[in-house]
Amino acid sequence: MQSNGHDQTAAVRDTIYRAALALDDQRWQDWLELCAPNFHYKITSFSPEINKDMIYLQGSRKEMDSLVRMLPKHNTDHSPLHRHTSVYTIDVSEDGKSAQAVSSVVFYQNMLDGNNSHIESGETRLFLAGRYVDTFAIEDGAAKFVDREVKLDNRRLDKGSHWPL
- Between CA 21 and CA 15 the distance in angstroms is 10
User: E strand or H helix at 9, and its extent?
Assistant: helix 8-24
Told to check if 54 binds another protein by CB under 8 A, we report yes
Nearer to another protein, 22 or 142 (CB): 22
Q: Do residues 54 and 46 lie in contact, with contact meaning Cβ atoms separated by under 8 Å?
A: yes
Least gap, CB of 102 to another protein (angstroms)? 22
Residue 122 engages another protein in binding (rule: CB under 8 A): no
| Distance in angstroms (rounded) separating the CA atoms of residues 47 and 64 | 25
Distance CA 165, CA 73 (A): 19
Between residues 2 and 47, which has the closer beta carbon with respect to another protein? Answer: 47
Tell me: does residue 114 bind another protein (CB under 8 A): yes
- Binding residue (CB under 8 A) for another protein from 49, 94, 95, 140: 49
158 is a site residue for another protein (CB under 8 A)? yes
Q: How far is the CB of 14 from another protein (least distance, A)?
A: 27
Interface with another protein, residue 96, by CB under 8 A: no
Q: Which helix or strand (DSSP H or E) is residue 63 part of? A: helix 61-69
Burial class from Cβ neighbours inside 10 Å (0-12, 13-18, 19+) for residue 59 reads middle
Window of 17-25, 41-49, 93-101, 138-146 that interacts with another protein by CB under 8 A: 41-49
Give Cα 22 to chain centroid, integer Å: 10
CB closer to another protein, 60 vs 93: 60
CB of 110 to another protein, least distance (A): 16
Give the C-alpha distances (Å, rounded to integers) separating 19 from 50, 72, 94, 132: 33, 21, 25, 11
Q: Does 2 bind another protein (CB under 8 A)?
A: no
Q: What residues line the site for another protein (CB under 8 A)?
A: 43, 45, 47-52, 54-58, 62-63, 66-67, 69-70, 73-77, 114-116, 155-163, 165
